Amino acid sequence: MGRPRELSEEEREALRKEGFRPVEVWLPDIWSDEVWEQVYKDCELIRGSEEEADVNLWIEEAARETMRLINEMEEDDK
């Protein structure tokens, strides 16, 4: 595959005048076993976070309801 042909200085200047700028982009090597191991781990974390989010929502709602009941009981005591 290799690197693309280098642009001449005139070509580079013409592109700059059109509002472009040079950028080098590095991407993960998708044929690497290490990359796929990390992808798998990340997917497991994402899946776990969705389950955890449901539990956290339930806990937050239970805490709100508990605080509402405590406040209600305190109001009744006054």
Q: What is the 3-state secondary structure (H, E, C) of 18-39?
A: CCCCCCCCCCCCCCCHHHHHHH
- How far separated are the first and last CA of the chain, in Å rounded? 80
The 10s digit of each residue's pLDDT in 15-68 is 999 999 999 888 888 889 998 899 899 888 887 777 787 878 888 888 888 888
| Global pTM value | 0.41
Residue 77 has pLDDT above 90, yes or no: no
Distance CA 55, CA 48 (A): 11
User: Could you tell me which of 29, 21, 25, 19 has the C-alpha nearest to residue 4?
Assistant: 25
- Taking the domains of the chain in order of start, what are their residue ranges? 28-77
| Residue-level pLDDT at 3 | 75
